[in-house]
A = this chain, B = another copy of it.
Amino acid sequence: MRRAVGLLGGGVIGGGWAARFLLQGFDVRLYDPDPEAERKMGEMLANARRALTSLSAVPLPPEGTVTMVATPAEAARGVELVQESAPERVELKQALLAEVCAAAAPEVLIASSTSGLRPTLLAEGMANPGRFLVAHPFNPVYLLPLVELCAGERTAPAAMERARALYGSLGMAPLVVRKEIDGFVADRMLEALWREALWLVNDGIASVEEVDDAIRLGAGLRWASMGTFLTYRIAGGEAGMRHFMAQFGPALQWPWTRLTDVPELTDELLDTIVAQSDEQAGGRSARELEQVRDDCLVSVLQALRARDIGAGAVLARHERALAAAEPARVIDAGDDLSQQLSLHTARVEAGWVDYNGHAHESRYLQVFGDASDALFTYLGIDAASLAGGSYFTVESHLSHLREALLDDRLSVTTQILGVDPRRLHVFHSLWREGDGALLATAEQLFVHVDTVARRAAPAAPDVLARVERIKAAHDALPRPQRAGRSIGIPGA
């Protein structure tokens, strides 16, 4: 049965929730009195779809469907969770939550997206608050993995466990707040930083662009991977955390922040911020800026995924879970082998692009190498154990026909040209999805290697039999035009 959730509110946060749930395969029932809600949510979903399809190395589950509903009670029908994302007004949230609580079946979880209001306060009017908690996400909800879970005084531990599993299955990293507190964990720190940022503009120390640069050209780069404590531990040098605290602890007492004051949002300060913000945006619409932000987040997440750290580790874990749900393709007796094999897809990532503005030539060979690995898996070679040996590349002939550009989606088709007990001869073609352009080809010769003895050795009989079967079918295909080429300049 398909999983479903109800959402109350489809603004920046509620719409972000809708996108995350839908793209992870949940159906969504959305209540929002704003007549524009469906349009806004659709636009955000389009942005989210664009970002997530470029982020993930594994295919997403089939997308869920949206049903717009007329009342909060209808949002709760047939769902496992209702997520409230109304404006931050206590009475409004309390009323909505009480209404939903009265209408929802007793096993339905109820969560509020509040940035900082305590769950015990929000639960005041609820008849059955044991299944209620705060689940506070971060914008854009469809890309950032953090969700803070905070229990109120009457929240049942079982509800917290169910919530942790549910948000985890969305690719999020639930952080359970140990004690109920206003602002939870992240927003207490964000708020402290933001208040100081407002003072800097108010006092004419820096413009909004300069404040942003002060973050993103320095500490922001560290915060993306390590947060604050691990970063400072390293700054303590060989002597570690105690040394760092001893060295920089006293500075905490120095007057480096405005501390007690809250800047008054006068018309003058507001005008300054709005004017500087407009300048910084340089005429780009919110939608365009969202795409810039999402592109950056995708690239940063991929960078961290390669390092298996922080949000990148969360992403890798979720992808492994998605991939495990869909086992690797191994040859099956029923497979139609009359066409070239299609075993590998990829996307041109930010790190692949060189100073010429296209994917570096070595990245083509990387994709072909991954396609070869997919072929070996398909042949029943276990890449992880390599117990039965492995194929090593001894020769590659690449032809670059067209440029591969950032975000291009790629697919590889593979034809087997020759085989003997120790050698395998294949021809890969690299295609761009969308316009179907042929970007490059790679003819490759592999030698089978005993990976323990580190020398050539015959492949296992079952592997050889599979290769022979594919080759027999592929012998009926036309020989690729670029196979067997040698390099030279005719007449030169």
In this assembly, does A144 line the interface, its C-beta being within 8 Å of a C-beta of chain B?
yes
Interface pair A215/B228, CB less than 8 Å apart: yes
Interface centre among A193, A295, A386 (most CB of B within 10 A): A193
Q: Scan residues 280-313 of chain A and give those whose CB is less than 8 A from a CB of chain B.
A: 280-281, 285-287, 289-290, 292-293, 295-297, 299-307, 309-311
In this assembly, does A450 line the interface, its C-beta being within 8 Å of a C-beta of chain B?
no
Interchain CB contact (< 8 A) of A175 among B213, B224, B451: B213
Interface size class of A (residues with CB under 8 A): 35 or more
Distance of A249 Cα from B249 Cα, bound (Å)? 31
Q: A254 and B116 in contact (CB under 8 A), knowing A186-B219, A302-B303?
A: yes
Q: A300 and B225 in contact (CB under 8 A), knowing A192-B195, A386-B356?
A: yes
In this assembly, does A324 line the interface, its C-beta being within 8 Å of a C-beta of chain B?
no
Interface pair B241/A274, CB less than 8 Å apart: yes
Q: Scan residues 98-142 of chain A and give those whose CB is less than 8 A from a CB of chain B.
A: 115-116, 138-139
Q: A216 and B226 in contact (CB under 8 A), knowing A234-B290, A299-B307?
A: yes
Interchain CB contact (< 8 A) of A204 among B138, B179, B215, B251: B179
In this assembly, does A396 line the interface, its C-beta being within 8 Å of a C-beta of chain B?
yes
In this assembly, does A157 line the interface, its C-beta being within 8 Å of a C-beta of chain B?
no
What residues on B are CB-neighbors of A363 within 8 Å? 362
Distance of A396 Cα from B159 Cα, bound (Å)? 57
Interface pair B257/A188, CB less than 8 Å apart: yes
Interface pair A289/B399, CB less than 8 Å apart: no
Interface pair B423/A489, CB less than 8 Å apart: yes
In this assembly, does A247 line the interface, its C-beta being within 8 Å of a C-beta of chain B?
yes
Q: A361 and B192 in contact (CB under 8 A), knowing A286-B234, A356-B386?
A: no
In this assembly, does A70 line the interface, its C-beta being within 8 Å of a C-beta of chain B?
no
Q: A492 and B230 in contact (CB under 8 A), knowing A193-B192, A237-B286, A485-B486?
A: no
A485 and chain B: residue at smallest CB distance: B486
Shortest A72–chain B CB gap in Å is 21
What residues on B are CB-neighbors of A203 within 8 Å? 179, 181
What residues on B are CB-neighbors of A190 within 8 Å? 193, 219
- Would you list 17 pairs from A and B whose C-beta atoms are within 8 A, ordered by A residue? A11-B237, A88-B251, A138-B218, A138-B219, A183-B256, A185-B206, A188-B196, A214-B227, A220-B220, A220-B227, A221-B297, A221-B311, A241-B278, A296-B304, A306-B350, A397-B397, A418-B488
